[in-house]
Amino acid sequence: MTVRVGFIGAGGIANAHLQVLRHMEGVRIAAFCDVDRERAESHAAAYNGRAYTDVHAMLDAEKLEAVYICVPPHAHVGQEEALIERGIPFFVEKPIANTLAKAESIAAAVEKAGLLTSVGYHWRYMTYSQLARERLAGKTIGMALGYWMGGMPGVYWWRRQDLSGGQMVEQTTHIIDLARDLCGEIVEVYAAMSTRASGDIENCTVTDVGTMTVKFASGAVGTISNTCLLKGFGYIVGLRVVTPEIVVEVDGGQFRALQAGREEIIKGGNNPYAEEDRIFIQAVQTGDSSEIRSPYRDAVRTLAVSLAANRSAETGAPVKL
Helix axes 37-47, 12-21, angle to 10 degrees: 10
pLDDT at 89: 98
Which tens digits make up the pLDDT trace of 91-115?
999 999 999 999 999 999 999 999 9
- If pLDDT is split at 50, 70 and 90, which confidence band does 295 have? very high
- For the chain, what is the mean pLDDT? 97
What region, left, alpha or beta, does residue 48 occupy, with left being phi > 0 and alpha being psi -120 to 50 degrees? left
What is the rounded CA–CA span in Å between residue 242 and residue 223?
Answer: 12
Predicted TM-score of the model (pTM): 0.97
- Mean pLDDT in residue range 58-76: 97
Pairing assessment for the beta strands 186-194 and 143-149 based on DSSP bridges: unpaired
Instruction: Please tell me the class of the 3-121+273-295 domain.
Output: alpha beta
Q: Tell me the C-alpha to C-alpha distance, in Å, between residue 266 and each of 134, 139, 240, 256, 274.
A: 14, 21, 15, 6, 20
Nearest in space to 214 (alpha carbons), one of 102, 302, 116, 119: 302
In the chain, pLDDT over 90 holds for what percent of residues?
Answer: 98
Angle separating helix axes 12-21 and 272-286, nearest 10 degrees: 60
Q: How many helices (H) and strands (E) does the chain have?
A: 11, 15
Report the alpha-carbon distance of residue 136 to residue 297 in Å, rounded: 25
Report residue 283's pLDDT band, with 50, 70 and 90 as the boundaries. very high
pLDDT at 54 over 90: yes
Backbone angles phi, psi at 198, to 5 degrees: -120, 10
Q: Look at residue 1 in the predicted model and tell me its pLDDT.
A: 85
The tens digit of pLDDT for each residue in 142-183 reads: 999 999 999 999 999 999 999 999 999 999 999 999 999 999
Domain boundaries, the chain: 3-121+273-295, 123-269+303-320
Superfamily of domain 123-269+303-320: Dihydrodipicolinate Reductase; domain 2 (3.30.360.10)
CA atoms of 40 and 31, how far apart (whole Å):
9
- What tens digit of pLDDT does each residue of 178-210 get? 999 999 999 999 999 999 999 889 999 999 999
Is pLDDT at 252 greater than 90 in this prediction? no
* Proportion of the chain above pLDDT 70, given as a percent: 100
The mean per-residue pLDDT over the stretch 41-59 comes to 98
pLDDT of 293 strictly over 90:
yes
Angle of the 173-183 helix axis to the 296-315 helix axis, nearest 10: 110
For residue 10, the SS3 value is coil
pLDDT in tens, 207-249: 999 999 999 999 999 999 999 999 999 999 999 999 999 999 9
Structure letter (DSSP) for residue 75: G
